[in-house]
Structure 1
Amino acid sequence: MSSDTHNTYLTTDQLSARIHYTPRTIRNELLDCCLIEGRHYIRPFGRRKILFIWAAIESDMLSAEHDALSLAQPE
């Protein structure tokens, strides 16, 4: 399987280590505000456990940084 079609799924603790937010902050502040079910995370088999989709999260984080930088540039 090529890396383009392979998603990396992360637990809350693994995502926490990558983005340097506590698991509690991810669950209480980012979930359903910045991280949207179906785009950034899934609940496999309809269960409570959440798996985060790293490619979508990383893409949106980089896009948001780019948007913020372009807004800060003088015209």
Structure 2
Amino acid sequence: MESSYTYLTTEELAQRIKYDCRTIRQQLKDSVLIEGTHYIKPFGRRKILFLWEAVGKEILKAAHGTISIPMANGGYSHG
């Protein structure tokens, strides 16, 4: 079964979520948007591609005010 993702550049993501590209790069990347979960660097290059489906889930999670604390076993504590 093949998974399908929508890959977005920083500029395309900025247009979709109505944020400035600099805000995404400086404030969201690596604090809210995590490499390997929300974005990838294909072929080991500097170029970043965001996974729209994962970013969209993160936005909805934040909108519902859920607080998730990562646990050592890979799960989450919802506090």
Q: TM over 0.5: same fold?
A: yes
Alignment of 1:1-75 (within 5 A): 5-67=3-65
Deviations 1:48-74 (A, max 9, x none): 000000000001111121236xxxxxx
For structure 2, the 5+ residue unaligned runs are: 67-79
In structure 2, distance between residues paired with 1:28 and 1:59: 21
Q: Normalised by the size of structure 2, how large is the TM-score?
A: 0.77
Identical aligned pairs, as a percentage? 56
After TM superposition, give the deviation of residue 37 of structure 1 in Å: 0.2
Residue 52 of structure 1: SS of its match in structure 2? strand
Q: Which has the higher contact order (CA 8 A, sep 6+)?
A: 1
Residue 34 of structure 2: SS of its match in structure 1? coil
CA RMSD, aligned part only?
1.6
> How many pairs does the alignment contain?
66
In structure 2, distance between residues paired with 1:23 and 1:60: 18
Larger radius of gyration: 1
**Greater strand percent: which structure?**
2
**Greater helix percent: which structure?**
1
Residue 26 of structure 1: SS of its match in structure 2? helix
- Alignment-mate amino acid for residue 60 of structure 2: L
